[in-house]
């Protein structure tokens, strides 16, 4: 986003005293990702993704956890859809596993893989739940990474072919298509800081990956438009950083501008405006030759119109100017994106990140629902006329089963109440927000944190695969039934 907030962090929004109703047609959903819940990592033709390889690399994932079994959703999806129906979900956002559908990233589809998603979509539709499909949530086939991965231009072409396979198989079932989930993470955590798969630490490769992810998005939108019914809606989901300067000083404002460029506008610029921002190109010119990287026709392809913009939000990003007393190469990076000796902010490695004040989640992320309001408002101002959808929002806490066999999570209820209040305020102020997807439906493999972090509204006992709806699940079901929030004193 081109406008960066100039005032210091202000804290959370005041919670309302009265109940709040949402507009007719507002969608209530929950979201998951294939590698985090499916399991069945070597069944029915599926081959390794970069996350299979990464999770097997010693020291990469907490406790050596892998997604081999995860929440065993591949075998239990019908029971899980029944849980969704009990919650009253309007929609369910899931991702398609590329190596399950097209194991090598090339050639024909494996029908057994597509059959799983056909059956999942049919089960959802039978229960009155709209299936929302994300084509890519970080699980690149390992063979494509071996051939260069996202820094290689050919991967964008392979993604277009994969999109065609999925669209032809599921086009009659899926009403909302998302090309990518959080391409920033794929590019900059995967190839910059190395805290995500494939674990590379190459700033130039991270920037090339970002461009090829953008290009793959554009190619995929073209494929979808030529394949699926005209009534289907297309989107991309971005984890836009709500960047805030620590103070209104010129140095802190410059730090915020730099992070806004490489954290947000590297995607929104070409996707929604048809151009990379000039300041981003200047900040990173010493790392890549953009004139060589961006070929004729790329920007026109990348900027194919989308029907919705998905926004994922968890916590704001608080930054300041470099500390002149710091040792060369050092910068405080409390940016909520994992610990690494390598920065995911190429060209702006010296910007200092701060933990915003106040309560935090089990991830160490600041709880600040005003950040979601500001993000929705600012995005709507920058891209007027583009409907928005909150495609991920939620929190991890240290949940446990009590002696009565229940899981009580009042902290999560408070978090969701505050953030849904922020969504309601944005809508009241004229922002076109079409829906909200809770992250996550169930506890799952939380990437480099393994199974040590629980985001779900449904508790998963990984030893038995038993599902236990937490108190937040019952609360969310009530929100859906009433199509709005209870009064503040009824949050818990």
Residue 246: asked if its preceding bond is cis (omega within 30°), the reply is no
Distance CA 36, CA 72 (A): 10
Query: How open is the CA angle 438-168-387, to the nearest 5 degrees?
Result: 40
Distance CA 289, CA 296 (A): 14
Closest alpha carbon to 185 in 84, 304, 52, 50: 50
Examine the residue annotation and report whether 182 is marked as an active-site residue of this protein: yes
Cα of first residue to Cα of last residue in the chain, in angstroms, is 35
Distance CA 234, CA 197 (A): 26
Residues 6+ apart with CB under 8 A from 460: 71, 442, 443, 444, 466, 467
Closest alpha carbon to 472 in 417, 393, 405: 417
Q: Which residues pair with 133 in a beta bridge?
A: 94, 177
Residue of 38, 123, 392, 446 marked active site: 392
Identify the helix (H) or strand (E) that includes residue 245: strand 243-245
Q: What residue has token string 């990140």?
A: 353
Examine the residue annotation and report whether 43 is marked as an active-site residue of this protein: no
Q: For residue 53, report the phi and psi dihedrals to the nearest 5 degrees.
A: -65, -45
Closest alpha carbon to 76 in 462, 470, 471, 475: 462
Identify the helix (H) or strand (E) that includes residue 395: none
Residue of 38, 123, 145, 182 marked active site: 182
Cα–Cα distance list, 243 to 339, 365, 423 (Å): 19, 14, 18
> Quick one: tokens of 220?
């995929």
* 179 within 8 A of 135, measured Cβ to Cβ: yes
> Quick one: tokens of 13?
């929004």
3-state secondary structure of 36: helix
> Quick one: tokens of 154?
């050919």
Q: What residue has token string 């968890």?
A: 314
Count the Cβ atoms, other than its own, within 10 Å of residue 183: 27
Distance CA 216, CA 277 (A): 19
* Residues identified as active-site: 182, 392
């Amino acid at each position: 986003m081109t406008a960066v907030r100039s005032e210091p962090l202000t804290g959370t929004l005041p919670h309302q005293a009265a109940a709040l109703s949402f507009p007719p047609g507002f969608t209530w959903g929950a979201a998951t990702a294939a590698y985090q819940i499916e399991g069945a990592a070597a069944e029915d033709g599926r081959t390794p993704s970069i996350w299979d390889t990464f999770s097997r690399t010693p020291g990469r994932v907490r406790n050596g956890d892998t997604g081999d079994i995860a929440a065993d959703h591949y075998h239990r999806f019908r029971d899980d859809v029944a849980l969704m129906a009990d919650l009253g979900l309007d929609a369910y956002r899931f991702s398609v596993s590329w190596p399950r559908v097209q194991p090598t990233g090339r050639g024909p589809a494996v029908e057994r893989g597509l059959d799983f998603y056909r059956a999942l979509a049919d089960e959802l539709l039978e229960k009155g739940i709209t299936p929302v499909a994300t084509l890519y949530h970080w699980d690149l086939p390992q063979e494509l990474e071996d051939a260069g991965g996202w820094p290689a231009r050919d991967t964008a072409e392979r993604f277009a072919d994969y999109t065609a396979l999925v669209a032809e198989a599921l086009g009659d079932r899926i009403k909302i298509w998302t090309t990518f989930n959080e391409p920033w993470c794929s590019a900059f955590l995967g190839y910059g800081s190395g805290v995500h798969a494939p674990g590379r630490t190459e700033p130039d490769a991270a920037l090339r990956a970002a461009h090829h992810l953008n290009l793959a998005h554009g190619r995929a939108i073209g494929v979808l438009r030529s394949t699926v019914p005209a009534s289907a809606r297309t989107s991309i989901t971005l984890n836009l950083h709500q960047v805030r300067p620590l103070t209104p000083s010129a140095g802190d404002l410059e730090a915020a501008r730099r992070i806004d460029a490489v954290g947000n506008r590297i995607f929104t610029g070409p996707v929604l405006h048809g151009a990379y921002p000039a300041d981003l190109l200047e900040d990173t010119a010493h790392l890549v030759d953009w004139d060589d990287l961006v070929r004729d026709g790329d920007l026109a392809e990348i900027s194919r119109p989308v029907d919705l913009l998905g926004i994922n939000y968890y916590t704001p990003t608080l930054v300041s100017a470099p500390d002149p007393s710091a040792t060369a190469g050092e910068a405080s990076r409390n940016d909520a994106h994992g610990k690494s000796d390598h920065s995911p902010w190429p060209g702006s490695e010296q910007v200092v990140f701060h933990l915003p004040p106040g309560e935090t989640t089990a991830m160490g992320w600041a709880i600040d629902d005003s950040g979601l309001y500001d993000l929705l408002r600012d995005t709507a101002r920058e891209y007027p006329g583009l409907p928005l959808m909150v495609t991920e929002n939620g929190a991890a806490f240290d949940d446990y089963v009590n002696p009565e066999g229940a899981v009580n999570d009042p902290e999560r209820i408070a978090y969701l109440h505050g953030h849904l209040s922020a969504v309601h305020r944005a809508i009241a102020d004229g922002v076109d927000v079409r829906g909200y997807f809770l992250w996550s439906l169930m506890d799952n493999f939380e990437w480099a944190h393994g199974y040590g972090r629980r985001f779900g509204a449904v508790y998963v006992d990984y030893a038995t695969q038993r599902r236990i709806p937490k108190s937040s699940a019952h609360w969310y079901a009530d929100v859906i039934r009433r199509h709005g929030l209870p009064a503040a004193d009824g949050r818990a």
